[in-house]
Amino acid sequence: MVNHMRHTHSQSAERRSHHALVGVRITLCESCGLPKMNHRACTNCGKYNKREVLNVYKELDKKTKKTKVPSTAKEPDKIEKVAKVKEKKVEEVKSEKRVEKKGK
Ligand SMILES: [Zn+2]
């Protein structure tokens, strides 16, 4: 390296002053009002510049075909059972904490 190629710390810092990353810019969709990324079609209504570009319903149909129905949805009794078990566990943890506090 030749001496005239040397950069001072401030020269490097000045160059790097333009390297900061900018966060994702989000605006509200003009037609449906939901947040969407700038320069992208709205994922909710499929519109860009108030013009429909994406067929959202087509994608929806694909997704509904792909997603499996969760086992709990088939048996509504199971959901109640799971909820009851969760409540019991929460109560157990709470009572254990109380015991610990009393012990101290
Ligand atoms: Zn929209």
What is residue 72's predicted lDDT score, i.e. its pLDDT? 57
DSSP string covering 33-77: --EEETTS--TTT-EETTEE-S-HHHHHHHHHHHSPPPHHHH-HH
CA 59 to ligand 1 centroid distance, Å: 15
pLDDT of residue 71: 56
Average pLDDT per block of 10 residues along the chain, 104 residues long: 89 96 92 92 91 83 70 63 76 77 61
Residue 78: per-residue pLDDT: 65
Distance from residue 103's CA to the centre of ligand 1 (Å): 57
The predicted structure's pLDDT at residue 26 = 93
The structure tokens listed for 63 are 């997704």
Residue 47 CA to ligand 1 center (angstroms) comes to 6
Angle at 45 between CA 27 and CA 35, to 5 degrees: 20
* Domain boundaries along the sequence of the chain: 23-67, 69-104
Residue 5 DSSP one-character state: G
Query: Do the Cβ atoms of 56 and 46 come closer than 8 Å?
Result: yes
pLDDT at residue 42, as a whole number: 92
